[in-house]
Amino acid sequence: MAIFKGAGVAIVTPMKANGEVNYEKLAELIEDQIAGGTDAIIICGTTGESSTLSHEEHIEVIRYCAKKVNKRVPVVAGTGSNSTETAIYLSQEAEKAGADGLLLVTPYYNKATQKGLIAHYTAIANAVKLPIILYNVPSRTGCNIAPETAAFLAKNVENIVAIKEASGNISQVAELMHQADGHLDLYSGNDDQVVPILSLGGLGVISVVSNVAPKYMHDMVTRYLEGDVKASAKMQLDVLPLCHALFCEVNPIPVKAGLNLQGKEVGSLRAPLTEMEPENQEKLKKAMKDMEIL
């Protein structure tokens, strides 16, 4: 059974002025997302600045989110690392904290071989019982999960059940779905490719855009899954300017700026990320106004 269908939000981690995690604000964001129809909360992913959270913060944010959501929608915890041992530790702690699934990004910087990826993911999966979503985003990690690797893992490791595909390579995604032969659920990791990935058998998206437009992204996927492909495709095309604006600087710089423009007061970013350039913020503001979310 799929972890979720629809639009899951890759939620930001709000910060106080002193740089600490703002749990009160996180609670507000979670409630806004659920009220907006978001189908899953993905906590402590790239958008959640997981790379600059301490292990203690990382686990506490997952625990807080799981408790606040209280099973209303699935909570998927980002627990990937370029250290297999660290990923196992974070995954086990996320399981204890009440997460419903795990999102495991490929090892970054050390760039594992395909054989290494199989060993890495198998070791983590064997250490937990939660269902696992592989996360393929080679533009950030320098490491690509080949279709045959993902298919092998899906067919040979019971709790590896899905993949978030953010390679941007539709041909690779098609080959993956061919080789997986129904053994792997597919989620888009790119907001500008949701409908194309749904057309290849995808179940939804793990979305950055959902932070600022949860109902829109939920409705876009739902319409496709209910058979109204034409309406869904139009929504995909209409949201492209907002997608471009939210990725004109490295994620999550623009999406935090967008939430702050909406008055959500999610705070700033942890170094080495910096605030959005003024000219890009103007582009984002225009795109949000055009979508009537500002």
Residue range 15-44, pLDDT digits in tens: 999 999 999 999 999 999 999 999 999 999
Query: How many Å apart are CA 275 and CA 256, to the nearest integer?
Result: 9
Query: How many Å apart are CA 204 and CA 184, to the nearest integer?
Result: 13
Instruction: Check residue 111 and give left, alpha or beta (phi > 0: left; psi -120 to 50: alpha).
Output: left
Candidates 25, 164, 256, 264; catalytic one: 164
What is the CATH code of the structural domain delimited by 6-228? 3.20.20.70
Residue range 48-90, pLDDT digits in tens: 999 999 999 999 999 999 999 999 999 999 999 999 999 999 9
Residue 85 neighbours by CB under 8 Å, 6+ apart: none
Query: How many Å apart are CA 11 and CA 21, to the nearest integer?
Result: 13
For residue 1, the model assigns a pLDDT of 82
Report which of 243, 255, 190 is spatially closest to residue 33, judged by C-alpha positions: 255
Q: Where are the domains of the chain?
A: 6-228
CA 233 to chain centre: 21
Residue range 88-144, pLDDT digits in tens: 999 999 999 999 999 999 999 999 999 999 999 999 999 999 999 999 999 999 999
> What Cα–Cα distance (Å) separates residue 210 from each residue in 59, 191, 266?
23, 9, 15
Whether residue 135 lies in the annotated active site = yes
Candidates 121, 135, 187, 216; catalytic one: 135
CB atoms within 10 A of CB 283: 17
Helices (H), the chain: 23-35, 55-69, 84-97, 114-126, 138-141, 147-156, 170-180, 194-199, 214-225, 229-238, 240-246, 253-261, 278-290
CA quadruple 152, 154, 160, 165: dihedral sign: positive
Helix 253-261 to helix 278-290 angle (10° resolution) is 60
Query: How many Å apart are CA 149 and CA 176, to the nearest integer?
Result: 9
Residue range 252-284, pLDDT digits in tens: 999 999 999 999 999 999 999 999 999 999 999
- Provide the CB-side half-sphere exposure for 228 (13 A, CA): 11
For residue 163, the model assigns a pLDDT of 98
Whether residue 129 lies in the annotated active site = no
Residue range 144-202, pLDDT digits in tens: 999 999 999 999 999 999 999 999 999 999 999 999 999 999 999 999 999 999 999 99
Residue range 206-253, pLDDT digits in tens: 999 999 999 999 999 999 999 999 999 999 999 999 999 999 999 999
